[in-house]
């Protein structure tokens, strides 16, 4: 089987975008980007460094007075124009997404549609940011609350869904009147680099959006920079702890959208066919590399074996292969180290007694040069097993039986994470009760992705982070509150 050769001429050539200046090289290390489906280098790019971050911050601060003073309807119109551009370049952005991290082409165009939806939704908020008046005590006075942008927001986004995460941050931040310094992840830089160019093409003033492709050193420089007023980080919990430690030096506020270990609870009264189909999606969505994917399946004992049979039968039809083939459902994981890490977790689980229902070993043959694992389903996994407690970030589902509603809730909540939760039941009382008891930021009932729209708040609890992106709450993540008290007591008469 011959894999489709990526259209490398589409790859952006400017890892540095500062103001309206595009640079083909930053001051940092040279990075060889690898296409996960073949293990081959796509292009080498010279990443940015702390000096590039400093220049980007200066450009953003220079643009800030004009941008925050721009009338809300003007910001709205620019965001609508950007949304239209995202739609016009949908297939280009989709292709970049496939090349950079192995996303499958049958799903990749959604990232541009999603970006357009976010910019339209939050663009609609740009001219509706309102304060309020506050009743005063004592003498005559006028007291009001105003919402203002933070200033310059540093956005650090991950490789698994860089365009999705970047627009989740940029849309509300820009609508609120902030300027942006955006780090493009070195493992998947292309779509974020193109995003910066598209915003300039849409008419955003130079300096409002700045992009620096880079590694951990660029992220650290952003967090430490005194000219950045807030950090919005999307990524792993381990990196987030480093971000917080570094941010403490300047007491810089940080928003954190981190990983998860989302439980999928399947009760005996569920529509089993639908619950199996949706349960399977946690292992294939984003090639199993989604932070909110439901990868920890808890199944009520009376239907446990029947559900496993359904999962196994469906898994046999999950086509793995060339991400550009629109019949392919599952592409590669991001890198060889990631592949080895995931395979090690699977082997350890098997050694601990997990039963392999599907998959379990790296694909060879035509897939040998890429980073491919089949959809892997492990049954009879103890809730205490490492693979049931730590984020796998690969196409692996663990399945554990439970008996009672209370036991399911206890197992689901016995986790360091709290990003998402999924419930399958036809009992409305149970759905609401269990949802109220789960320690997670987003609960979906008889669903598996429909809730990820721009108008709903998204974020986690516990080690899945804090703050919300999406909805009105997401807008307010990028606004500071100011109180103004005006004393109206008449001057004393001499």
For residues 159 and 5, is the Cβ–Cβ distance under 8 A? Answer: no
How far CA 262 is from CA of 2, 88, 184, 415, 444, in Å, comes to 36, 35, 27, 9, 11
Q: Residue 377: left (phi > 0), alpha (psi -120 to 50), or beta?
A: beta
Three-state DSSP class for residue 68: helix
The answer to whether residue 398 is domain-embedded is yes
Cα–Cα distance, 166 to 192 (Å, whole number)? 7
* Domain identity same for 276 and 154: no
Residues 71 and 146 in one domain: yes
H or E segment and range at residue 376 = strand 376-379
One domain for residues 53 and 175: yes
What pLDDT, on the 0 to 100 scale, is given for residue 139? Answer: 87
Give the CATH number of the domain where residue 75 resides. 3.40.605.10
Structure tokens at 445: 């009932």
In a domain, 456, yes or no: no
The catalytic residue among 257, 274, 390, 472 is 257
- Cβ atoms within 10 Å of 493's Cβ, excluding its own: 4
The span from the CA of 153 to the CA of 232, in Å, is: 7
Partners of residue 17 on adjacent β-strands: 22, 211
DSSP assignment letter at 152: E
CATH number of the domain where residue 438 is located: 3.40.309.10
Number of separate domains in the chain:
2
**pLDDT computed for residue 100 by the predictor:** 97
Full residue range of the structural domain in which residue 136 is found: 8-258+464-481
| In a domain? residue 457 | no
Q: Quote the CA–CA distance of 1 and 319 in Å, as a whole number.
A: 13
Q: In the structure encoding, which two tokens stand for residue 418, read together?
A: 């709290």
Residues 149 and 248 grouped into a single domain = yes
Is residue 103 domain-resident?
yes
Length of the chain: 494
Domain membership of residue 453 (yes or no) is no
Residues 202 and 314 in one domain: no
Contact between residue 381 and residue 411 where contact means Cβ atoms under 8 Å apart:
no
For residue 467, what pLDDT is reported?
97
Euclidean distance between CA atoms 267 and 113, whole angstroms = 34
**Do 266 and 252 fall into the same domain?**
no
Shared domain check, 268 and 144: no
pLDDT at 1: 60
184 and 54 co-located in one domain: yes
The bridge status of strand 479-487 relative to strand 141-149 is: antiparallel
115: its two tokens: 């970006």
> Is 450 part of any domain?
no
Evaluate whether residue 284 is within a structural domain: yes
Q: Are residues 354 and 245 in the same domain?
A: no
Tens-digit pLDDT string for the chain (494 aa): 678 988 899 999 999 999 999 999 999 999 999 999 999 999 999 999 999 999 999 999 999 999 999 999 999 999 999 999 999 999 999 999 999 999 999 999 999 999 999 999 999 999 999 999 999 998 899 999 999 999 999 999 999 999 999 999 999 999 999 999 999 999 999 999 999 999 999 999 999 999 999 999 999 999 999 999 999 999 999 999 999 999 999 999 999 999 999 999 999 999 999 999 999 999 999 999 999 999 999 999 999 999 999 999 999 999 999 999 999 999 999 999 999 999 999 999 999 999 999 999 999 999 999 999 999 999 999 999 999 999 999 999 999 999 999 999 999 999 999 999 999 999 999 999 999 999 999 999 999 988 889 999 999 999 999 999 999 999 999 999 999 999 999 998 87
Q: In terms of domains, do 158 and 300 share one?
A: no
227 in a structural domain:
yes
Task: Tell me how far apart the alpha carbons of residues 103 and 261 are, in angstroms, rounded to a whole number.
Answer: 21
**Rounded CA Rg of the chain:** 24
d(CA 365, CA 362): 10
Instruction: Give the closest residue to 162 by CA, choosing from 118, 202, 195.
Output: 195
Question: Do 344 and 359 fall into the same domain?
Answer: yes
Model confidence pTM above 0.75: yes
Based on the residue annotation, tell me whether 405 is a catalytic residue of this protein: no
Tokens of 69: 């003073």
Give the residue among 42, 41, 48 at the shortest CA–CA distance from 22. Answer: 48
Q: Are residues 139 and 28 in the same domain?
A: yes
Give me 162's structure tokens. Answer: 């860089």
């Amino acid at each position: 089987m011959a894999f489709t050769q990526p259209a490398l001429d589409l790859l952006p050539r400017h890892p540095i975008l500062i103001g309206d200046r595009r640079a083909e090289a930053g001051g940092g290390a040279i990075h060889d980007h690898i296409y996960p489906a073949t293990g081959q280098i796509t292009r080498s790019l010279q990443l940015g460094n702390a000096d590039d971050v400093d220049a980007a911050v200066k450009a953003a601060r220079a643009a800030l007075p004009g941008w925050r003073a721009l009338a809300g309807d003007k910001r709205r119109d620019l965001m609508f124009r950007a949304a239209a551009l995202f739609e016009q370049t949908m297939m280009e952005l989709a292709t970049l997404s496939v090349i950079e991290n192995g996303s499958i082409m049958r799903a990749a165009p959604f990232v541009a549609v999603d970006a357009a939806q976010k910019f339209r939704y939050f663009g609609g908020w740009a001219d509706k940011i309102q304060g309020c008046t506050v009743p005063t005590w004592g003498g005559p006075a006028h007291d009001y609350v105003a919402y203002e942008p933070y200033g310059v927001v540093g956005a650090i986004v991950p490789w698994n869904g860089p365009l999705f995460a970047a627009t989740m941050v940029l849309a509300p931040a820009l609508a609120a009147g902030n300027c942006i310094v955006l780090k493009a992840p070195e493992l998947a830089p292309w779509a974020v680099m193109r995003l910066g160019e598209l915003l300039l093409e849409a008419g955003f003033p130079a300096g409002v959006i700045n992009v620096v492709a880079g590694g951990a050193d660029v992220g650290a420089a952003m967090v430490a920079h005194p000219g950045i007023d807030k950090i919005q980080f999307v990524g792993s919990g381990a990196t987030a702890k480093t971000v917080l430690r570094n941010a403490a030096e300047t007491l810089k506020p940080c928003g954190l959208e981190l990983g998860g270990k989302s439980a999928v609870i399947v009760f005996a009264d569920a529509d089993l066919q639908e619950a199996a189909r949706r349960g399977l999606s946690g292992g294939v969505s984003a090639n199993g590399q989604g932070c909110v994917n439901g990868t920890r399946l808890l199944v009520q004992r009376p239907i446990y074996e029947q559900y496993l049979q359904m999962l196994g039968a469906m898994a046999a039809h999950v086509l793995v292969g060339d991400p550009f083939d629109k019949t392919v459902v599952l592409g590669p994981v991001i890198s060889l180290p990631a592949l080895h890490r995931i395979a090690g977790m699977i082997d350890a689980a098997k050694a601990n007694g997990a039963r392999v229902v599907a998959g379990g070993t790296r694909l060879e043959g035509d897939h040998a040069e890429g980073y491919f694992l089949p959809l892997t389903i492990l049954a009879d996994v103890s809730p205490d097993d490492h693979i049931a407690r730590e984020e796998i970030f690969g196409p692996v589902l663990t399945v554990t039986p439970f008996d009672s509603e209370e036991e399911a809730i206890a197992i689901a909540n016995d986790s360091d994470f709290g990003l998402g939760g999924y419930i399958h039941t036809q009992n409305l009382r149970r759905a609401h009760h269990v949802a109220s008891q789960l320690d997670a930021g987003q609960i979906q009932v008889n669903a598996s992705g429909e809730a990820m729209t721009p108008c709903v708040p998204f974020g986690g609890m516990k080690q899945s982070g804090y703050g919300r992106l999406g909805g009105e709450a997401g807008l307010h993540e990028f606004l500071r509150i100011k109180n103004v008290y005006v004393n109206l007591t008449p001057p004393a008469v001499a």
